[in-house]
Structure 1
Amino acid sequence: MKIVADENLAFTEYFFSEFGEIQQAAGRTLTQKDVRDADALLVRSVTQVNDSLIQNTALKFIGSATIGTDHLDIAAIEKNQIAWSNAAGCNAQAVAEYVITALLKLNPTLMDQNSAFTLGIIGLGNVGSRLAYMAKLLGWNVIGHDPFVQHNDIKQVELEELLKSADAISTHVPLTQIGEHKTYHLIDENALKLMKPNAILINSARGAVVAESALIADIENNQRQVVLDVFEHEPEISEHLLNLVSIVTPHIAGYSLEGKARGTQMIYDAFCRTFDYSAHKKFESQLPACEQYFYGNNIKQTLKEHLTDIYDISRDDQSLRACVKDGKVDQKAFDHLRKTYPLRREWAAHGGPKA
């Protein structure tokens, strides 16, 4: 069996080497020629899996180690009678921890504001629900909006109320272009006007959920604190935008070692179901031990003392800003940052809580 895999997938050899030849490739530049005689294709979100890539190939399985599917042309995949799977929820814990880390980096006093601080979460799927749980551990007031999901333990409100009420807003929705609840430019000029001028905005979902031109105008007008891990025109990212945004990172919110390994595990499990193999491997066996910071239930004290030890978000911010060349982020440098990213560990690996 021949398996073509994105070179940045974690633990590919561990999970798939027993099945045959693994050919690793740069996911952003894959062509039909690269996968023509492959039985399986393993990708991330940088690969557009469409009819031109997969038609007239030997592919029988496509696995994407990502939570989203907007890079997958599912109709084309199914038309070509290819089984497919993604890894919904694989990095949800990492993204939730990223959001809390960013908020505490911007304003360390949030640690002690308890219910006086309201976090608004747009999208209450795997990531949003985990973020709500973690935020409540810090005593924050949480409100959420999701027209497709109902959570009994999260106060859900209409989008307009969330935008007006929240002290910080974090987006966790897929990118959808059509329908009553489309998310393309969900945060546009009108949405930004509804928000408190000092409310923090965090986008770690998909870049085009936030209208970039409207965001730039809003920051210039309100000096709003904004955190971006994704960008509307990614990997085309302007220096002007970077100079305005408080924290920028190179699309790595979900890049924990556990999240990466869990994503590969999930498509491995689906691969085994497709080809009727026994799925006998577990990612936990491949993870090294790491320093323990959390002891007992005093989460706040641990984060006050060791937040930067657990995840230094400033390092990622500085690394992306250092990639600017001729007024914009250099695409090769951007991809290199992601390819060589030193995967951080989730709080649970340090003895902490998880949802």
Structure 2
Amino acid sequence: MKIIADENLAFTDYFFAEFGDINARAGRTLTAVDVNDADALLVRSVTQVNQNLIAHSQIKFVGSATIGTDHLDIPVLEQQGVTWSNAAGCNAQAVAEYVITALLYVRPQLLDANDTFTLGIVGLGNVGSRLAFMAKLLGWNVIGYDPFVQRDPIEQVEFTELLKQADAISIHVPLTKDGEHPTYHLFNADSLSQMQPQAILINSARGAVVEEQALIQDIQKTQRQVVLDVFEHEPVIQENVLDLITLVTPHIAGYSLEGKARGTQMIYDAFCQKFGFIAHKKFETQLPICAQYFDQADLKTILKQHLTEIYDIQCDDANLRACVKDGIVEQKAFDYLRKTYPLRREWAAHGGPKA
């Protein structure tokens, strides 16, 4: 069996080597020639799996070790009889911890804010619901908006109410352009104008959920603090955009070792089901033991003492800004940052809580 795999997938050999030849490729530049005689294709969100890529291939299975599916042309896959799988929720914990870390970096005083601080969460799927749980551990007030689900532990409000009430808004929706509730440019000039000027905006979902030009104008007007892990025109990022954003990272919010390994595990399980193999491997056996920071002290004390050791988010910001050349982030440099990213560990690996 021939398997084409994104070179940045974690533990690919551990999970798939027993099934045949694995050909690692740069996911962003995969071509129809690369996959022509492959039986299975394993990708991440940077690969557009569409008619152009797979039309003349013999691919029987496509696995994406990612939460989202907007890079998969699902109707084309199903039309050609290709079984597909994604890894919904694989890095939800990592993204939730990323958001908490970003907020505490931007405003360290939030660690003692308790319920005087209201976090608004747009999208209450795997990530949003986990973030709500983690935020409540810190004593924050949480409100959410999601027209598709009802989460009883979370106070859900209309979108316009969330915009008005929240002291920070974190986005966790897929990118959609159709249907009753499209998310493309959900945050535009109108919605941004309804936010409190001092409210923080965090986007670690999909770049185009936030209209870049409207965001630029909003920041220039309000001096709003903004955290971006994703960008509308990624990997093309203008230096003038970076200069306005409080904290920037190179699309790595979900890049924990556990999240990456869990994503590969999930498409491995689907692969085995497709081809009739017994799924007997578990990612936990491959994880090294790491420093234990969480002990009998309370959560807030531990975060005050060790948050930077658990995840130095400022380093990611500096590394992305260092990729600017001639007024723009170079794609090769951006992709290299992600390829060589030192996967951080989730709080639970350090003895801490998880949702």
TM-score, with structure 1 as normaliser: 1.00
**1:18 paired residue number:** 18
Query: What's the CA shift string for 1:161-201, capped at 9, x where partnerless?
Result: 00000000000000001122000000000111100000000
- Quote the Cα distance in structure 2 between the aligned partners of 1:201 and 1:251: 16
Give the Å deviation of 1:213.
0.2
Q: Superposition pairs for residues 147-186 of structure 1, below 5 Å?
A: 147-186=147-186
Query: What is the DSSP-based 3-state SS (H/G/I as helix, E as strand, rest coil) of the residue aligned with 1:142?
Result: strand
- Quote the Cα distance in structure 1 between the aligned partners of 2:246 and 2:216: 12
- Quote the Cα distance in structure 2 between the aligned partners of 1:126 and 1:179: 21
**2:209 paired residue number:** 209
**2:5 paired residue number:** 5
Query: What is the DSSP-based 3-state SS (H/G/I as helix, E as strand, rest coil) of the residue aligned with 2:233?
Result: coil
- Quote the Cα distance in structure 1 between the aligned partners of 2:107 and 2:335: 30
- Quote the Cα distance in structure 1 between the aligned partners of 2:324 and 2:130: 34
- Quote the Cα distance in structure 1 between the aligned partners of 2:148 and 2:96: 20
After the TM superposition, which of the residue ranges 193-202 and 294-303 deviates more from structure 2? 294-303
**1:103 paired residue number:** 103
**2:124 paired residue number:** 124
**2:285 paired residue number:** 285
**1:354 paired residue number:** 354
**2:273 paired residue number:** 273
**1:239 paired residue number:** 239
Query: What is the DSSP-based 3-state SS (H/G/I as helix, E as strand, rest coil) of the residue aligned with 1:139?
Result: coil
**2:90 paired residue number:** 90
The code of the aligned residue for 2:185 comes to: H
Give the Å deviation of 1:56.
1.6
- Quote the Cα distance in structure 2 between the aligned partners of 1:325 and 1:179: 39
Query: What's the CA shift string for 1:29-63, capped at 9, x where partnerless?
Result: 00111011100000000000001101121101000
Query: What is the DSSP-based 3-state SS (H/G/I as helix, E as strand, rest coil) of the residue aligned with 1:133?
Result: helix
Give the Å deviation of 1:7.
0.2
- Quote the Cα distance in structure 1 between the aligned partners of 2:82 and 2:254: 27
Identity within the alignment, % = 73
Query: What is the DSSP-based 3-state SS (H/G/I as helix, E as strand, rest coil) of the residue aligned with 2:144?
Result: strand
Query: What is the DSSP-based 3-state SS (H/G/I as helix, E as strand, rest coil) of the residue aligned with 1:285?
Result: helix
- Quote the Cα distance in structure 1 between the aligned partners of 2:177 and 2:354: 33
- Quote the Cα distance in structure 1 between the aligned partners of 2:188 and 2:327: 24
Query: What's the CA shift string for 1:111-133, capped at 9, x where partnerless?
Result: 01100000000000000000000
Query: What is the DSSP-based 3-state SS (H/G/I as helix, E as strand, rest coil) of the residue aligned with 2:190?
Result: helix
**1:325 paired residue number:** 325
**1:39 paired residue number:** 39
Give the Å deviation of 1:297.
5.9
Query: What is the DSSP-based 3-state SS (H/G/I as helix, E as strand, rest coil) of the residue aligned with 1:300?
Result: helix
The CA RMSD over aligned residues, in Å, is 0.5
Query: What is the DSSP-based 3-state SS (H/G/I as helix, E as strand, rest coil) of the residue aligned with 1:296?
Result: coil
**1:30 paired residue number:** 30
Question: Is 1:262 matched with 2:262?
Answer: yes
Give the Å deviation of 1:296.
2.8
- Quote the Cα distance in structure 2 between the aligned partners of 1:295 and 1:142: 26
**1:311 paired residue number:** 311
**1:77 paired residue number:** 77
- Quote the Cα distance in structure 2 between the aligned partners of 1:79 and 1:108: 51
Query: What's the CA shift string for 1:7-45, capped at 9, x where partnerless?
Result: 000000000000000000000000111011100000000
The code of the aligned residue for 2:333 comes to: A
Unpaired stretches in structure 2, ≥5 consecutive residues: none
Query: What is the DSSP-based 3-state SS (H/G/I as helix, E as strand, rest coil) of the residue aligned with 2:320?
Result: helix
- Quote the Cα distance in structure 2 between the aligned partners of 1:303 and 1:324: 32
Query: What is the DSSP-based 3-state SS (H/G/I as helix, E as strand, rest coil) of the residue aligned with 2:41?
Result: strand
TM-score, with structure 2 as normaliser: 1.00
Query: What is the DSSP-based 3-state SS (H/G/I as helix, E as strand, rest coil) of the residue aligned with 1:215?
Result: helix
The code of the aligned residue for 2:97 comes to: E
